[in-house]
Chain A
Amino acid sequence: MEKFTGKVWVLGDDIDTDIIIPTEYLALKTIEDMKQYGFSPLRPELAGQIEKGDIIVAGKNFGCGSSREQAPEVLKALGIRCIIAKSFARIFFRNSINNGLLLMEQQDLSGHVREGEEITVVVNSHVSYNGKNYPLASLPENLVEIINAGGLVKAMRVRNGLERV
């Protein structure tokens, strides 16, 4: 089972995709150009502070709002390893899976974990923090297939004979 440890950034409820990447930066050429503006309406300093392998822990309805797939791509480009939230908005959820960004629902963690501390994630099993385990549900099989293929682009390349699994 996949296991990793990372430093936590704690965010609240209803973190919308306009906060993750505002519309005014969506016409920049690349995700690399956009990523410095991540979370700028809420915490302008955050994008510069996130390091590769960090984990976001948030409240309910993370990723609500616009369908912009730049949101999960910006988070991935900033180095976010996974997001653990009470719940996710559905378009953001699909977009993240299709880009190989791991999302997991957990009801209690966001109320307990402190920003800057480390948590250990065992995918499809639990999160360990401060000596306590918080359970994680398993993802549906069709989503696991997309993640295992390396995202939807890779899955389509395999379908079209450009790559092998």
Chain B
Amino acid sequence: MGQTIIEKIIARNIGAESVKPGDIVTTSVDRVMLDDIMIPFIADKFHEMGFSKIWAPHKAVLIYDHLVPSSQIDDIRHYKAGEAFALKYGIEHVHRSDGICHQLMTEAGYVKPGDVVFGTDSHTTTYGCVGAFSTGIGYTEMAAILGTGNLWVKVPETIKIVIDGTLPDNVMSKDVILRIIGDLGADGATYRALEFAGAAVERMSVSSRMTMANMAIEAGAKCAVFTPDEKTAEYCGITLNDFQRNLIGDRDAAYCRVLTYHGEDFVPVMACPSQVDKIRSVSQLEGLPIDQVFIGSCTNGRLEDLKMAAKVLDGKSVAPFVKLIVTPASRKVYQEAAACGAIKTLVEAGAMVTHPGCGLCCGRAGGILCDGERVVATNNRNFLGRMGTSKVEIYLASPAVAAACAAAGKIVSPTI
């Protein structure tokens, strides 16, 4: 009996020949990510549990991103709690203003193919882009991992998603994952793993795969995973070992569901207010006036996203009544986008470029909106009140769509 990618990762982690869906197993954790919102709570729980040391301080990464730069006075308390905890227990991997946690975990080399990783943020599913098993947990479980190095998991069933062929030029991986979430529904993959394969997926950059793994949680998935390849190896700065090279879903593996798509069938889409699975093609929505555009987040704030936005906006101007906010996902992305001229193009078009961080995605930074306003945004959630008041209409889209909308002042399809 063959195995799915997630089954292979978990089996190796626990030292078993194989595992099957439904097995409850105790994993040895390879890496943990602690974010700034949760760190005071993690520290409290860790102390309440009676631990006096972290099982492996070098495996912990503390990242300030949701609250950077501070927008409320109470935010400072979170930095102080983080500093005190890191100092006391010897956490050396601390990022104070380098960018969004999920971008940094792979970009800075903390996660490798085949690793088992947990983080205190739901979008921890992102690291499946390099073939890791990663998922979000709460602060109590994080405190328990920091003390013990272990966490129990139930081996998930796997949904296989095959995308053959080639994507059209104006379609980005964001359009692909939005369509898949629409097909699965917001709870269609709850407790399950998503495994992506097919020619269109093999052609994608690691950044594009990151967008898809990031949003797997929006269909309820426990995790999402891509087979590591030469692009993954280059991105991670490693040579793949035999185990990593073999992280392929076996032909005779048991999948609870298989979805097959043809790349050519995809079109630019949007998730409409206020459900991530309410997907419409952009052509159906054309003409709706907009107030603001946000390009950024752990979903779509990478170099290829900013380059695409710059390409669409090159020589154009943001509509006079529209505010365009661009937030690079990390300092490195910011530097690279500056070096290649993308930032210059965006600024000349009228964009406001802000410091790397979660920014407007979680409604905590400059740019929050009020009742009756409409925003086109490249992040991952359009929930009520996510980016301001509860009557803001949030339309989720790719950077190409978002940039085209910013220039038009209304919803339009991008021409690439």
Task: Provide the residues of chain B in CB contact with A142, threshold 8 Å.
Answer: 24, 152
Task: Provide the residues of chain A in CB contact with B37, threshold 8 Å.
Answer: 23, 26-27, 68
Contact of A90 among B66, B78, B143, B191 (CB under 8 A): B191
Q: How far is the CA of A26 from the CA of B386 in the complex (A)?
A: 13
**CB atoms of B45 and A140 under 8 A apart:** no
Interface residues of A in 107-165 (CB under 8 A from B): 140, 142, 151-153, 156-157, 159-162
Q: How far is the CA of A161 from the CA of B51 in the complex (A)?
A: 10
> A5 at the A/B interface (Cβ < 8 Å)?
no
Return the CB mask of B27-45 against A: 1 if under 8 Å, else 0.
Answer: 0000000000110010001
Task: Provide the residues of chain B in CB contact with A89, threshold 8 Å.
Answer: 187, 190, 220
**CB atoms of A157 and B24 under 8 A apart:** no
Task: Provide the residues of chain B in CB contact with A14, threshold 8 Å.
Answer: 186-187, 275
- Given the interface pairs A19-B385, A22-B385, A67-B121, the reply to whether A91 lies near B136 with Cβ below 8 Å is yes
Contact of A18 among B140, B147, B220, B386 (CB under 8 A): B386
Q: Which size bracket describes the interface of B in this complex?
A: 35 or more
Residue of A nearest to B66 (CB): A23
**CB atoms of B144 and A28 under 8 A apart:** no
- Given the interface pairs A28-B74, A153-B48, the reply to whether A19 lies near B383 with Cβ below 8 Å is yes
Sample 27 A-B pairs with CB under 8 A, ordered by A number. A14-B186, A18-B381, A18-B383, A24-B364, A27-B77, A28-B74, A29-B74, A40-B390, A41-B383, A61-B187, A65-B381, A67-B119, A67-B121, A68-B37, A69-B38, A90-B220, A94-B137, A94-B138, A94-B141, A98-B138, A140-B24, A153-B48, A153-B49, A153-B140, A156-B143, A156-B148, A160-B147
Other 9 A-B pairs with CB < 8 A, given A94-B138, A95-B141, A153-B48: A14-B275, A19-B384, A23-B37, A64-B187, A66-B121, A67-B136, A69-B140, A90-B220, A161-B50
